[in-house]
Amino acid sequence: MAENEPGPGGSIEIIQREMTAFARRARASAARMHPELSLVSFTLLSHLEDRGGCRATDLAAYYMLDKSTISRQVGALEKAGLVERRLEPGDHRVQVLHLTERGTGLLQRATDSRRVAFRERLAGWSEPDLERFAEYLLRYNAGAPEG
Binding site for DNA (CB under 7 A): 27-28, 38, 40-41, 55-57, 64-76, 90-95
Spatial separation of the C-alpha atoms in residues 123 and 137, rounded to whole Å:
18
- 29 touching a copy of itself, by CB under 8 A: yes
CA-closest candidate to residue 86, choices 52, 60, 62: 52
- 36 touching a copy of itself, by CB under 8 A: no
CB of 85 to DNA, least distance (A): 7
Q: How many CA atoms lie within 13 A of 29 on its CB side?
A: 11
- 100 touching a copy of itself, by CB under 8 A: no
81 binds, options a copy of itself, DNA, none, Cβ within 5 to 8 A by partner type: none
| Secondary-structure breakdown of the chain: helix, strand, coil percentages, each rounded to the nearest 5 | 65, 10, 25
144 binds, options DNA, a copy of itself, none, Cβ within 5 to 8 A by partner type: a copy of itself
106: number of Cβ within 10 Å: 22
- 115 touching a copy of itself, by CB under 8 A: yes
CA-closest candidate to residue 47, choices 82, 15, 18, 81: 82
Spatial separation of the C-alpha atoms in residues 1 and 94, rounded to whole Å:
53
Per-residue x/- track, 67-96, a copy of itself (CB under 8 A): ------------------------------
Which residues in this chain contact a copy of itself in the complex, by CB under 8 A? 7-29, 32, 39-40, 42-43, 46, 63-65, 114-115, 118-119, 121-122, 124-125, 127, 129-134, 136-141, 143-146
